[in-house]
Structure 1
Amino acid sequence: MSTQDPRTAPAADIAEITRLHREWWEANVGFDIDRMVKVFPEPGDEYLMFNFNGHPYFGMKEKVALWRWYKERIAQTGGLVTRIMRLEVRGDTAWLACEFSIEAEQLDGGEWTVDSVDAAHGRATEIYHRDDGQGRPEWRMWHTQITALPDLTEARPGFDDSTASRGLGWVPWEALPAAVEGTA
């Protein structure tokens, strides 16, 4: 099966997937649960997330509980930037890879880190299906995996560059069209 270039995928599919991507990331600022749940399947029992904290979360009930827990401890105050590195659409399934940065701090004044890595910078892979969880042909995010970026100035093994020198979301091939690359 060949990969569909995002520049030749149906414009409506690209627009909806990137809209859901933006909604998801913008909901992270302030942990807007009502906005977040609209991105995912209903009731979401089969949704799976590998969270930034390293743990898996099964279904939307667990995801909502996690966000409630974080909302009491973390202030994600804005400064959100996402850069889509790749988007592929294959029929009723799509995947998107991005890098991001977001301003955040622990409400108790502590430093917000994941294994001593600056947790304000990361990358994510998002899997979408054209299925709203009730069988209707509407795009929803069914899986995401989020990991921290290495220190922004750390040299990439085998190469003489870093995230800081390349820039957030840099790719060695032709950049995605401006309509796909975005800041949330």
Structure 2
Amino acid sequence: MASNENDVKEILAVHHSWLDSNNDLVKEKMYPNFANPGYLQFNLNGHEYNGPDEKAKLWDGLHEIGFNLSQMKIVEEPKVYAEGDLAYLTTYWSALVTGNTGTGVLEPDPEPLVFRVTEVYRRDDGKGNPEWKIWHFHASPIAGKDTPRFPQDA
């Protein structure tokens, strides 16, 4: 954990604000959490998005096809590691996913999607102001229960 409790509180506030903006994909809530310019996301969909404006276009497109993330929740409490003006956070999120599955029918997935998250923070809003912002976000799926792990655990 980071040694400066105030930094950790500020970083967690940004993290929770970002998490909340994912519920129903609310762009106005999303923007204030990211460095602009400078932000880069490796999205769970496998693509990268450069800057909040590009991410906003992604969210517009998702709205058009009826895709929605709802009830975004933290599965594991975030761990924050900070030193000076740089920090990173790791956690696991879950969400119910609704979207066009190719059938033309919009139905929620009965099982929540669980994925791991890494966020990189700098005390810089992208314009040189000393505010904690997310500079990089990475989401990836967790391995399935039947997926072998190498090397095998003894």
- TM-score, normalized by length of structure 2? 0.84
Q: Which residue of 2 aligns with 1:128?
A: 121
Q: Secondary structure at the match of 2:20?
A: helix
Once the two structures are overlaid, the 10-residue window that deviates more, 70-79 or 132-141, is 70-79
Cα drift, residue 112 of structure 1: 8.2
Gaps of 5+ in 1: 161-184
Cα drift, residue 119 of structure 1: 7.7
Q: Which residue of 1 aligns with 2:88?
A: 95
1:28 pairs, out of 15, 22, 27, with 22
1:60 pairs, out of 52, 62, 81, with 52
Q: Which residue of 1 aligns with 2:37?
A: 45
Cα drift, residue 154 of structure 1: 4.1
**Is residue 78–residue 104 contact of structure 1 (8 Å, CA) maintained in 2?**
no
Q: Secondary structure at the match of 1:136?
A: coil
CA RMSD of aligned residues (A): 2.4
Cα drift, residue 72 of structure 1: 2.5
**Is residue 119–residue 148 contact of structure 1 (8 Å, CA) maintained in 2?**
no
Cα deviation, 1:144-184, whole Å, max 9, x if unaligned, reads 11111122454544237xxxxxxxxxxxxxxxxxxxxxxxx
Q: Percent identity?
A: 29
Aligned partner of 1:131: which letter?
D
Cα deviation, 1:76-118, whole Å, max 9, x if unaligned, reads 22152342453210100000111111111115436789xxxx8
Answering whether residue 17 of structure 2 is matched by residue 10 of structure 1, we say no
- TM-score, normalized by length of structure 1? 0.71
Gaps of 5+ in 2: none
Cα distance in 2 between the residues matched to 1:48 and 1:70: 19
Q: Secondary structure at the match of 1:159?
A: coil
Cα distance in 2 between the residues matched to 1:87 and 1:105: 30
- Bigger fraction of residues in strand: 2
**Is residue 95–residue 127 contact of structure 1 (8 Å, CA) maintained in 2?**
yes
Q: 1:145 to 1:76 in 2, by over 3 A?
A: same
Q: Secondary structure at the match of 2:143?
A: coil
